[in-house]
């Protein structure tokens, strides 16, 4: 089949319209204001040029021109309707993750859209250039930013369904921020409208093929976009995505988030961008600690255990020392108590002996006195022997001298003998 060598479509009746497009856009000024200075790219809906606003000190901007090489007038009218709708949708949106529209006009039967210039590149070309998937943390960060802008779109009055979320429509600026571009098929959501069937294979959900897209359709497209960024592989059209089956480095949690987002039944997906963002953030809360951080934590824990162990051993030794000193003190107290008891006993015995001696001396004195007064009394020696005997018997019966001493005659146990007159 013959094709046009310029645009790759069927041959035209005459020269290709795209061949006459300003590829280098030099010295072309639109509306006497926007000077085209270079070609940025071409898509299904039109051509994008780098430009500068001559009225605002040559401020950089982007000019998007609707393609004009349609075969049928019906196709052109439909494209013009999409182009005008994009201008209408963007004019109502103000969000830091959406490219802002600056102007919209028609000139020489062509339609133009002027937007902010985003210094950056789209995710599709970035991944293709690097040749490998992005890290999971990076993809999750971008996905959260996209959830933020989708939540803004879906809660807008009326809600806006993006319908064309895919890596090539996600720009990353020089500060790492997400910017959604190309709102050509975005539309306000109306339940009773016969929607146009516009799809991007692999990124559009089943319901979008028959024109029944709603907010959950953008959730599906985000899940498919995450699959591409995590694996570097294009998602299979109309199939749930399992990034873990392609990239073993993807966590189970992220794999399940992508799988649920790309469920074929809209009721089984996340029902809102806010719900999906919450699921993505739960991954960051459960994120495993890096190996280096784990090693550092283990060393700190080991140090704490060693210090605690040393303190515990020191306490045990201190307790043993205190116990030993306590036992030693008790033993010393027992010895002192025993010595005190023995001392008391000795004192009592000494006191008893002293009293016995005093009693014996007293008896001897009395016997002597009687001997002088009664010359016929027995000799003192015999009386002294009797007194000594009595004292010895007293010591045997009361060695501690605890019994109170009686008067001299009673303590000896003798009564004065009855001395005769003759």
175-184 tens-digit pLDDT: 999 999 887 6
DSSP state of 378: P
* More confidently predicted of 254 and 421: 254
Instruction: Say what the pLDDT of residue 91 is.
Output: 87
Instruction: Say what the pLDDT of residue 249 is.
Output: 96
Counting residues of the chain whose pLDDT is more than 70, the rounded percentage is: 76
Confidence of residue 42 (pLDDT cuts 50, 70, 90): confident
Place of tokens 């739960």: 282
Least confident of 123-132, 221-230, 397-406: 397-406
Instruction: Say what the pLDDT of residue 210 is.
Output: 87
Per-chain mean pLDDT for the chain = 81
**Per the structure block, which two tokens stand in for 31?**
């509306």
Mean pLDDT over residues 369-378, rounded?
A: 72
pLDDT above 50 for 155 = yes
Contact 219, 273 (CB under 8 A): yes
Instruction: Say what the pLDDT of residue 86 is.
Output: 79
DSSP state of 7: T
Instruction: Say what the pLDDT of residue 186 is.
Output: 60
Mean pLDDT over residues 3-15, rounded?
A: 43
Counting residues of the chain whose pLDDT is more than 90, the rounded percentage is: 42
Instruction: Say what the pLDDT of residue 10 is.
Output: 45
Contact 101, 114 (CB under 8 A): yes
Confidence of residue 411 (pLDDT cuts 50, 70, 90): very low
Quick one: which of 118, 177, 122 has its CA closest to 146? 177
Q: What are the CA-CA distances from residue 367 to residues 45, 378, 411, 419 (Å)?
A: 157, 9, 15, 12
Mean pLDDT over residues 127-140, rounded?
A: 96
Instruction: Say what the pLDDT of residue 250 is.
Output: 96
pLDDT above 90 for 26 = no
Whether residue 158 has a cis bond before it, omega within 30° of 0:
yes
Report the range out of 253-262, 306-315, 406-415 with the highest average pLDDT. 253-262
Q: What are the CA-CA distances from residue 77 to residues 48, 67, 68, 309 (Å)?
A: 20, 12, 10, 83
Mean pLDDT over residues 69-91, rounded?
A: 83
pTM above 0.75, yes or no: no
User: Which residues are known catalytic residues?
Assistant: 164
Mean pLDDT over residues 160-171, rounded?
A: 92
pLDDT above 50 for 121 = yes
pLDDT above 80 for 377 = no
Cβ contacts of residue 356 below 8 Å, gap of 6+?
391, 394, 395, 401
pLDDT above 50 for 2 = no
pLDDT above 60 for 386 = no
Mean pLDDT over residues 397-422, rounded?
A: 49
Order of strands across the sheet with 170-173?
Answer: 120-122, 170-173, 178-180
pLDDT above 50 for 408 = no
Order of strands across the sheet with 46-53?
Answer: 28-30, 34-42, 46-53, 59-66, 110-116, 101-107
| Helix 291-373 vs helix 380-397: crossing angle, to nearest 10 | 160
Contact 50, 35 (CB under 8 A): no
Quick one: which of 192, 190, 51 has its CA closest to 116? 51
Mean pLDDT over residues 103-122, rounded?
A: 92
Mean pLDDT over residues 336-340, rounded?
A: 88
Partners of 63 in the β-ladder: 49, 114
């Amino acid at each position: 089949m013959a094709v046009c060598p310029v645009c790759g479509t069927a041959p035209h009746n005459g020269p290709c319209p795209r061949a006459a497009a300003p590829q280098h856009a030099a010295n072309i000024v639109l509306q006497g204001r926007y000077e085209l200075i270079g070609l940025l790219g071409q898509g299904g809906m039109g051509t994008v040029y780098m430009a500068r606003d001559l009225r605002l000190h040559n401020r950089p901007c982007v000019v998007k021109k609707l393609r004009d090489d349609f075969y049928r007038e019906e196709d052109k009218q439909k494209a013009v309707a999409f182009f005008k709708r994009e201008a209408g949708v963007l004019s109502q949106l103000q969000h830091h993750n959406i490219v802002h529209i600056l102007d919209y006009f028609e000139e020489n039967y062509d339609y133009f859209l002027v937007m902010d210039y985003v210094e950056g590149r789209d995710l599709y070309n970035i991944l293709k250039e690097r040749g490998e998937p992005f890290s999971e943390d990076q993809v999750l960060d971008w996905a959260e930013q996209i959830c933020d802008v989708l939540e803004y779109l879906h809660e807008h009055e009326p809600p806006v369904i993006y319908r064309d979320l895919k890596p090539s429509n996600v720009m990353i600026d020089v500060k790492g921020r997400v910017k959604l571009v190309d709102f050509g098929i975005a539309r306000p959501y109306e339940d009773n409208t016969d929607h146009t069937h516009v799809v991007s294979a692999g990124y559009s959900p089943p319901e979008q093929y028959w024109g029944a897209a709603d907010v959950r359709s953008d959730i599906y497209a985000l899940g498919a976009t995450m699959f591409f960024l995590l694996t570097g592989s294009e998602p299979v059209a109309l199939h749930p995505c399992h990034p873990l089956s392609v990239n073993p480095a993807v966590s189970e949690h992220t794999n399940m988030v992508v799988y649920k987002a790309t469920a074929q039944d809209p009721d089984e997906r996340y029902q809102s961008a806010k719900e999906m963002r919450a699921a993505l953030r739960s991954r960051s809360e459960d994120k495993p600690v890096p190996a280096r951080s784990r090693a550092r934590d283990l060393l700190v824990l080991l140090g704490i255990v060693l210090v605690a162990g040393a303190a515990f051993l020191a306490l045990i030794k201190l307790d043993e020392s205190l116990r030993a000193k306590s036992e030693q003190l008790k033993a010393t107290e027992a010895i002192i108590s025993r010595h005190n008891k023995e001392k008391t006993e000795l004192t009592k015995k000494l006191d008893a002996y002293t009293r016995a001696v005093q009693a014996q001396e007293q008896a001897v004195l009395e016997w002597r006195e009687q001997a002088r007064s009664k010359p016929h009394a027995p000799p003192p020696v015999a009386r002294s022997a009797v007194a000594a005997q009595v004292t010895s018997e007293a010591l045997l019966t009361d060695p501690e001298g605890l019994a109170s001493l009686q008067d001299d005659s009673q303590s000896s146990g003798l009564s004065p003998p009855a001395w005769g007159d003759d």
